[in-house]
A and B are shown apart, each in its own frame.
Chain A
Amino acid sequence: DTGVSQDPRHKITKRGQNVTFRCDPISEHNRLYWYRQTLGQGPEFLTYFQNEAQLEKSRLLSDRFSAERPKGSFSTLEIQRTEQGDSAMYLCASGPLYEQYFGPGTRLTVT
Protein backbone atom coordinates (compact mmCIF):
# COMPACT_ATOMS: atom_id res chain seq x y z
CA ASP A 1 0.00 0.00 0.00
CA THR A 2 1.60 3.24 -1.14
CA GLY A 3 -0.60 5.77 0.61
CA VAL A 4 -3.88 7.64 0.38
CA SER A 5 -5.26 7.87 -3.16
CA GLN A 6 -7.85 10.29 -4.52
CA ASP A 7 -9.82 10.29 -7.74
CA PRO A 8 -10.12 12.30 -9.89
CA ARG A 9 -7.04 14.48 -9.52
CA HIS A 10 -8.66 17.34 -11.40
CA LYS A 11 -12.29 18.19 -12.07
CA ILE A 12 -13.69 21.08 -14.07
CA THR A 13 -17.43 21.56 -13.83
CA LYS A 14 -20.02 24.19 -14.62
CA ARG A 15 -21.83 26.05 -11.88
CA GLY A 16 -24.92 24.16 -10.77
CA GLN A 17 -23.60 20.69 -11.60
CA ASN A 18 -23.03 17.94 -9.02
CA VAL A 19 -19.59 16.43 -8.49
CA THR A 20 -18.37 13.41 -6.52
CA PHE A 21 -14.86 12.70 -5.32
CA ARG A 22 -13.45 9.43 -4.05
CA CYS A 23 -10.80 8.74 -1.42
CA ASP A 24 -9.11 5.41 -0.72
CA PRO A 25 -7.33 5.54 2.64
CA ILE A 26 -4.34 3.54 3.81
CA SER A 27 -5.91 0.14 4.44
CA GLU A 28 -5.17 -0.26 8.13
CA HIS A 29 -6.36 3.23 9.09
CA ASN A 30 -9.81 3.44 10.66
CA ARG A 31 -9.96 7.26 10.66
CA LEU A 32 -10.61 9.26 7.50
CA TYR A 33 -10.75 13.03 7.12
CA TRP A 34 -11.75 15.51 4.44
CA TYR A 35 -10.22 19.00 4.24
CA ARG A 36 -10.50 21.86 1.78
CA GLN A 37 -7.58 24.07 0.79
CA THR A 38 -7.76 27.30 -1.17
CA LEU A 39 -4.73 28.88 -2.81
CA GLY A 40 -2.22 30.25 -0.33
CA GLN A 41 -4.09 28.97 2.72
CA GLY A 42 -3.77 26.03 5.08
CA PRO A 43 -6.22 23.15 4.80
CA GLU A 44 -9.57 23.59 6.58
CA PHE A 45 -11.35 20.67 8.21
CA LEU A 46 -14.61 19.51 6.62
CA THR A 47 -15.55 16.17 8.17
CA TYR A 48 -14.21 13.05 9.87
CA PHE A 49 -15.09 9.36 9.95
CA GLN A 50 -14.12 6.65 12.36
CA ASN A 51 -14.81 3.44 10.47
CA GLU A 52 -18.20 4.05 8.81
CA ALA A 53 -19.46 6.56 11.39
CA GLN A 54 -19.31 10.25 10.52
CA LEU A 55 -18.32 11.76 13.88
CA GLU A 56 -17.85 15.44 13.15
CA LYS A 57 -18.82 17.96 10.48
CA SER A 58 -17.54 21.50 10.12
CA ARG A 59 -19.83 24.48 9.69
CA LEU A 60 -18.05 24.81 6.31
CA LEU A 61 -19.94 21.71 5.21
CA SER A 62 -23.18 23.25 4.00
CA ASP A 63 -26.21 21.13 3.15
CA ARG A 64 -24.93 20.96 -0.44
CA PHE A 65 -22.06 18.79 0.77
CA SER A 66 -22.41 15.17 1.80
CA ALA A 67 -19.82 12.57 2.66
CA GLU A 68 -20.09 8.84 3.12
CA ARG A 69 -17.82 5.99 4.08
CA PRO A 70 -19.74 2.78 3.45
CA LYS A 71 -18.28 -0.30 5.14
CA GLY A 72 -15.54 1.82 6.67
CA SER A 73 -13.29 1.61 3.62
CA PHE A 74 -13.26 4.23 0.83
CA SER A 75 -15.09 7.52 1.19
CA THR A 76 -16.95 9.80 -1.21
CA LEU A 77 -17.54 13.53 -0.98
CA GLU A 78 -20.39 14.91 -3.07
CA ILE A 79 -21.06 18.57 -3.78
CA GLN A 80 -24.49 19.37 -5.18
CA ARG A 81 -25.32 22.50 -7.18
CA THR A 82 -21.71 23.64 -7.29
CA GLU A 83 -20.88 27.32 -6.89
CA GLN A 84 -17.77 29.22 -7.97
CA GLY A 85 -16.80 29.54 -4.30
CA ASP A 86 -16.46 25.75 -4.16
CA SER A 87 -13.33 25.95 -6.35
CA ALA A 88 -10.53 24.57 -4.17
CA MET A 89 -8.31 21.56 -3.55
CA TYR A 90 -10.20 18.83 -1.69
CA LEU A 91 -7.85 16.77 0.43
CA CYS A 92 -8.44 13.42 2.05
CA ALA A 93 -6.33 12.10 4.91
CA SER A 94 -6.29 8.91 6.92
CA GLY A 95 -4.62 7.89 10.15
CA PRO A 96 -4.57 5.51 13.08
CA LEU A 97 -5.00 8.01 15.94
CA TYR A 98 -3.06 11.27 15.99
CA GLU A 99 -1.11 11.08 12.72
CA GLN A 100 -2.89 12.12 9.53
CA TYR A 101 -1.48 11.22 6.11
CA PHE A 102 -2.80 13.17 3.16
CA GLY A 103 -3.56 12.11 -0.36
CA PRO A 104 -2.64 14.15 -3.45
CA GLY A 105 -5.97 15.99 -3.48
CA THR A 106 -8.65 16.68 -6.07
CA ARG A 107 -8.47 20.12 -7.67
CA LEU A 108 -12.01 21.38 -8.38
CA THR A 109 -12.60 24.28 -10.72
CA VAL A 110 -16.16 25.59 -11.05
CA THR A 111 -16.70 27.76 -14.13
Chain B
Amino acid sequence: QQQVKQSPQSLIVQKGGIPIINCAYENTAFDYFPWYQQFPGKGPALLIAIRPDVSEKKEGRFTISFNKSAKQFSLHIMDSQPGDSATYFCAALKAAGNKLTFGGGTRVLVKP
Protein backbone atom coordinates (compact mmCIF):
# COMPACT_ATOMS: atom_id res chain seq x y z
CA GLN B 1 0.00 0.00 0.00
CA GLN B 2 1.51 3.29 -1.11
CA GLN B 3 1.03 5.63 1.82
CA VAL B 4 2.50 8.73 0.15
CA LYS B 5 1.48 9.54 -3.42
CA GLN B 6 3.55 12.05 -5.39
CA SER B 7 2.75 13.85 -8.62
CA PRO B 8 3.69 14.60 -11.31
CA GLN B 9 6.30 11.99 -12.22
CA SER B 10 8.21 14.52 -14.28
CA LEU B 11 8.18 18.25 -14.88
CA ILE B 12 9.90 20.57 -17.33
CA VAL B 13 10.10 24.32 -16.69
CA GLN B 14 12.05 27.25 -18.10
CA LYS B 15 14.67 28.98 -15.98
CA GLY B 16 12.93 31.32 -13.56
CA GLY B 17 9.73 29.26 -13.56
CA ILE B 18 8.16 27.72 -10.45
CA PRO B 19 7.96 23.92 -10.48
CA ILE B 20 5.28 22.66 -8.11
CA ILE B 21 5.32 19.09 -6.81
CA ASN B 22 2.39 17.65 -4.90
CA CYS B 23 2.11 14.88 -2.35
CA ALA B 24 -0.83 13.28 -0.60
CA TYR B 25 -0.72 11.02 2.41
CA GLU B 26 -3.18 8.64 4.01
CA ASN B 27 -1.96 8.01 7.54
CA THR B 28 -2.95 10.79 9.94
CA ALA B 29 -0.31 9.57 12.38
CA PHE B 30 2.40 11.10 10.17
CA ASP B 31 3.78 14.20 11.89
CA TYR B 32 6.91 15.21 9.97
CA PHE B 33 7.09 15.85 6.24
CA PRO B 34 10.51 16.38 4.62
CA TRP B 35 11.50 16.94 1.02
CA TYR B 36 14.68 15.50 -0.45
CA GLN B 37 16.66 16.39 -3.58
CA GLN B 38 18.62 13.66 -5.33
CA PHE B 39 21.12 13.93 -8.16
CA PRO B 40 22.05 10.86 -10.24
CA GLY B 41 24.40 8.54 -8.38
CA LYS B 42 24.10 10.49 -5.13
CA GLY B 43 22.20 9.99 -1.90
CA PRO B 44 19.08 12.08 -1.17
CA ALA B 45 19.81 15.46 0.42
CA LEU B 46 17.40 16.95 2.95
CA LEU B 47 16.05 20.22 1.55
CA ILE B 48 13.28 21.41 3.83
CA ALA B 49 10.74 19.88 6.22
CA ILE B 50 7.47 20.85 7.89
CA ARG B 51 5.39 19.76 10.88
CA PRO B 52 1.57 19.62 10.56
CA ASP B 53 0.96 22.54 12.92
CA VAL B 54 2.40 24.93 10.29
CA SER B 55 0.75 25.74 6.94
CA GLU B 56 3.81 27.11 5.13
CA LYS B 57 7.56 27.10 5.49
CA LYS B 58 10.19 28.86 3.38
CA GLU B 59 13.90 28.22 3.18
CA GLY B 60 15.70 30.16 0.49
CA ARG B 61 13.99 29.46 -2.84
CA PHE B 62 12.13 26.40 -1.51
CA THR B 63 8.64 26.64 0.00
CA ILE B 64 6.43 23.93 1.47
CA SER B 65 2.68 24.44 1.63
CA PHE B 66 0.79 22.11 3.95
CA ASN B 67 -2.97 21.40 4.06
CA LYS B 68 -3.69 19.18 7.06
CA SER B 69 -7.42 18.76 6.40
CA ALA B 70 -6.78 17.63 2.82
CA LYS B 71 -3.77 15.54 3.86
CA GLN B 72 -1.71 17.17 1.11
CA PHE B 73 1.54 19.09 0.91
CA SER B 74 3.53 20.60 -1.91
CA LEU B 75 6.97 21.92 -2.78
CA HIS B 76 7.46 25.12 -4.76
CA ILE B 77 10.86 26.01 -6.19
CA MET B 78 10.99 29.76 -6.73
CA ASP B 79 13.14 31.29 -9.50
CA SER B 80 14.24 27.83 -10.61
CA GLN B 81 17.74 27.39 -12.04
CA PRO B 82 19.25 24.70 -14.29
CA GLY B 83 21.20 23.48 -11.23
CA ASP B 84 17.87 22.59 -9.61
CA SER B 85 17.40 19.84 -12.20
CA ALA B 86 17.15 16.70 -10.06
CA THR B 87 14.70 14.17 -8.69
CA TYR B 88 12.66 15.38 -5.73
CA PHE B 89 11.08 13.08 -3.17
CA CYS B 90 8.50 13.90 -0.56
CA ALA B 91 8.39 11.75 2.54
CA ALA B 92 6.48 11.34 5.77
CA LEU B 93 7.39 10.05 9.19
CA LYS B 94 5.60 8.91 12.32
CA ALA B 95 7.56 9.78 15.41
CA ALA B 96 6.75 6.48 17.05
CA GLY B 97 7.95 4.45 14.07
CA ASN B 98 10.72 6.73 12.94
CA LYS B 99 10.99 5.36 9.42
CA LEU B 100 10.55 7.61 6.42
CA THR B 101 7.91 6.63 3.88
CA PHE B 102 8.81 8.12 0.51
CA GLY B 103 6.73 9.18 -2.46
CA GLY B 104 7.60 7.90 -5.90
CA GLY B 105 9.68 10.92 -6.91
CA THR B 106 9.41 13.75 -9.45
CA ARG B 107 12.10 14.33 -12.03
CA VAL B 108 12.44 18.09 -12.57
CA LEU B 109 14.24 19.56 -15.57
CA VAL B 110 14.90 23.29 -15.63
CA LYS B 111 15.79 24.49 -19.12
CA PRO B 112 18.18 27.45 -19.48
**B residues in contact with A91, CB < 8 Å:** 43-44
Decide if A101 touches B100 in the complex (CB within 8 Å): no
Among B42, B43, B46, B101, the residue within 8 A (CB) of A45 is B101
Which residues of the partner chain A approach B101 to less than 8 Å between Cβ atoms? 45
Complex contact B95–A98 (CB within 8 A): yes
Is residue B97 within 8 Å, beta carbon to beta carbon, of the partner chain? yes
Check B66 for interface membership: any CB of A closer than 8 A.
Answer: no
**Beta-carbon contacts of B79-100 to A below 8 Å, as 1s and 0s?**
0000000000101010101111
Number of interface residues of B (CB under 8 A): 24
Nearest residue, chain B, Cβ from A89: B43
B99 touches A103 (CB 8 A): no
Please encode chain A, from 30 to 66, with 1 for each CB lying within 8 Å of some chain B CB and 0 for all others: 0101010000111111001000000110100000000
Question: Size range of the interface on A?
Answer: 20 to 34
A42 and B98 in contact, given A91-B43, A104-B42, A105-B43 (Cβ under 8 angstroms): no
Min C-beta distance of A105 to chain B, whole Å: 5
Interface-side segment among B13-21, B70-78, B102-110:
B102-110
Point out residues on A near B: beta carbons under 8 Å. Answer: 4, 31, 33, 35, 40-45, 48, 55-56, 58, 91, 93, 98-105, 107
